[in-house]
Amino acid sequence: MVEKAANALLPGDTIGIIGGGQLGRMLAMAAARLGLKTIILEPDAGCPAAQTANRHIAAAFDDKHALKEFSAACDVITYEFENIPVSAVSFLEENNLLFPSSLALEKSQDRLTEKNFLRDLGIATAPFAPVEDVASLKTAIAEIGTQAILKTRRLGYDGKGQVRINGDTGIEEAWQAIGAVPAILEGFVDFAREISVIAARDRNGRVVCYDPAENVHREGILRTSTVPAASSPQTTAKAVKIAETITDALDYTGVMGIEFFVLGDGALAVNEIAPRVHNSGHWTEAACDVSQFEQHIRAVAGWPLAWPLRHSNCVMENLIGDDMDRLPQLLSDGNCLVHLYGKAETRAGRKMGHVTRLTGPAKS
């Protein structure tokens, strides 16, 4: 139906989504709006995504029998988080179209691999050094300084697996605090602001980017994304160019979230890349004609991307843990779009939903 007709999905076809969190939930709804079916592979029986998908295979990601069943039922496969065993993804990739490819997953699952990948592309990052043990941590601190964060190479998210290094923190304690596992020491970047770009790349290599959002994190968790970001057109152009460089280097298909530090002089350093739809792109659902979720589905389905048109300015705020206590007020605010993820239990630090406020028409 499009350029790569043989592989493009038809309405009624099925997209498999590995992972059952809120990103999978929103992907499943976007797929449904396009007449596509979804199957979620996720061990948690009550996961958010299964509630809006056509089917749920409740099994571990390395369950061979489940992977075969999943593989047989899907016309194309994608994933909604990056902490999946590469072995599972490689198995599926042998039998199915799978986007983004396992290469993107490999590069982004490991903070050190990711940083080296970016550096090899000539893209600035925070200063970093590998840490294998206490000795190499000491070497890294000597090189980078004490204004730094020790992060596990793998399995960290939302501030987990991280500890701040400073004059008062014992080096041995920091090493133990992250579980004495392979890590990376990242130097602080003295940034003016944090922005992110949500890029989408189709199977033919066309890249489109949404307007950058300006992000505020607290305790390692995204709190708000505001659009437009207070960054110059030059900075935006540079960020888009970097997004194109990264996605082209991976021959990437799908949506990628790229977080940047904007320095005082407008220079950019990439903080992190995520090979999936991204929390800092949730605003696109409220303020754009077509959301990041639909763009991702279009890309992996082999369908054309939509223009990333933004009709409104907006502020997205995450609802984390006790923020849910504010729900009655948020629902009573007639100007506030509430989006909840269907999680039964509210826990500290857990993303329960988000709200978006449109703040006026976008300047065209």
Closest among 312, 244, 307, 316 to 279, alpha carbons compared: 316
First to last CA, the chain: 32
Is the Cβ of residue 98 or residue 290 nearer to its own copies in the bound state?
290
Structure token digits, residue 146: 């004490």
Look up tokens 């490991």; give the residue. Answer: 110
Is the Cβ of residue 49 or residue 150 nearer to its own copies in the bound state?
49
Which position among 23, 27, 29, 297 is part of the footprint of its own copies (CB under 8 A)? 29
Which position among 13, 32, 139, 158 is part of the footprint of its own copies (CB under 8 A)? 32
Note whether 171 binds its own copies by CB under 8 A: no
Instruction: Evaluate whether 216 touches 237 at the Cβ level (below 8 Å).
Output: no
Q: Site for its own copies (CB under 8 A): how many residues? A: 46
Query: 358 vs 229, 282, 334, CA distance in Å?
Result: 14, 13, 11
| Shortest Å distance, C-beta 24 to its own copies | 12
Note whether 34 binds its own copies by CB under 8 A: yes
Note whether 340 binds its own copies by CB under 8 A: yes
Is the Cβ of residue 12 or residue 264 nearer to its own copies in the bound state?
12
Give the strand pairing for 207-209 and 221-227.
unpaired
Is the Cβ of residue 75 or residue 194 nearer to its own copies in the bound state?
75
DSSP 324: G
Note whether 122 binds its own copies by CB under 8 A: no
3-state DSSP call for residue 147? Answer: coil
Instruction: Evaluate whether 79 touches 276 at the Cβ level (below 8 Å).
Output: yes
Query: Which residues sit at the interface with its own copies, rule CB under 8 A?
Result: 1-2, 11-12, 25, 29, 32-35, 37, 51-52, 54, 286, 289-290, 298, 303-307, 309, 311-312, 324, 327-328, 331-332, 334-342, 344, 353, 358, 361-362, 364
